Amino acid sequence: MFGQLFISGLATGSLYALTAVAVVVVFRNTRTINLAQGDFSMIGAFVALVLIKSFAFNYYFALAGSVVFCIGLGILAERVVMRQIADSDWLTLFTATLGMYYILHGVAGHFWGRDTKAFPLTFDPTPINVFGGIISQGHVVNMAWAAAIGLVLFIFFKYTKQGIAMRAVTDDPETAALMGIPVRFIVLLTWGMAGFLAAFAGVLIAPIIYVSPEMMDEVLIKGYVAAVFGGLYSIPGAIIGALLIGICENLAGGYLGSHFKTVTAFAMIVLLLAFRPHGLFGIQKRREV
């Protein structure tokens, strides 16, 4: 039983990680907690569902369409909303993302209704044995996707000019601007990346749960907790935090009861911050939320 709960928790944590990394990426370069990140994913899931059911797209083309749409949604959010208030205090920025959260909820409810909708299964529902634990093939596929995305992000931040520029803006945006780095473009790229990650998070989790305007609310909370767990500036920290939360809450749900799953995530973050206020991999910054 332990092995099965552990592997399932790892799979769940890998989905939390996509949202946690997006929260960290946006926060590092804008000092903004993006409360609309979950709704980016929700919109992406609806777009993929429409492409599959109404236009007969296969899964991969629908996923690609969702990715393109969500990248555009992230860019639109930055250009229309966040750029106009870029120099405002953190509370104004935070409130703007909260406003986007409710707007996207309303838009989704208007166009697709508030009833839950099943997403077509894209994998064989027959469970398989992995290291002595029984796990659905969907979880295995999701872990593989999450690992591949993690590798792509590592290569991007380590070896590309844009990735290095994003790291420079994170460390010191004023100095980066003086060195000729287009900070505004990097911020735009940051929001586009948030949309990219959102699309994968929404489409990967949709076959496991359901599609509705509220589908990502709990995932966003867990992703945010994982980002705080890692220190809000550390992408590896966010990934580790997400995996730990997924594993621990799954073990708690299996041994103590399902109602302990969410409690476990918040108990972990409260205990961590009590002893390490800046998170597992966090460091003191000039500005903190």
Length of the chain measured in residues = 289
Domains in the chain, ordered, with CATH?
2-113+132-275 (1.10.3470)
* Residues ≥6 apart with Cβ < 8 Å to 279: 228, 229, 230, 231, 232, 234, 237, 241, 272, 273
Task: Indicate the burial class of 272 (C-beta count within 10 angstroms; 0-12, 13-18, 19 or more).
Answer: buried
What does the alpha-carbon distance between residue 218 and residue 210 come to, in Å, rounded to a whole number?
13
Angle between helices 2-30 and 37-53 (to 10 degrees): 110
For residue 170 the two structure tokens come to 């994170």
User: What does the pLDDT read at residue 172?
Assistant: 85
What does the alpha-carbon distance between residue 190 and residue 196 come to, in Å, rounded to a whole number?
10
What does the alpha-carbon distance between residue 17 and residue 21 come to, in Å, rounded to a whole number?
6
* Residues ≥6 apart with Cβ < 8 Å to 134: 4, 127, 128
For residue 263 the two structure tokens come to 């409690």
User: What does the pLDDT read at residue 282?
Assistant: 63
Closest CA to 207 of 127, 289, 117: 117
40: how many CB neighbours lie within 10 A of its CB?
A: 31
Task: With H, G, I as helix, E, B as strand and everything else as coil, classify residue 211.
Answer: strand
* Residues ≥6 apart with Cβ < 8 Å to 206: 45, 48, 49, 119, 215
286: how many CB neighbours lie within 10 A of its CB?
A: 6
Residue 57 DSSP label: -
**Phi, psi torsion values for 61, nearest 5 degrees:** -70, -35
CB-CB contact of 281 with 231 (8 Å): yes
pLDDT in tens, the chain (289 residues): 777 788 888 888 999 999 999 999 999 998 899 999 999 999 999 999 999 999 999 999 999 999 999 999 999 999 999 999 988 998 999 999 999 999 999 999 999 998 899 998 777 667 777 666 677 777 888 889 999 999 999 999 999 999 999 999 988 888 888 888 999 999 999 999 999 999 999 999 998 888 999 999 989 999 998 998 888 888 999 999 999 999 999 899 888 887 788 788 888 888 888 888 777 776 555 444 4
Closest CA to 163 of 5, 8, 17, 25: 25
The DSSP result for 104-150, as a single string, is HHHHHHHHH-SS-BPPPP-S--S-EEETTEEE-HHHHHHHHHHHHHH
pTM for the whole thing?
0.91
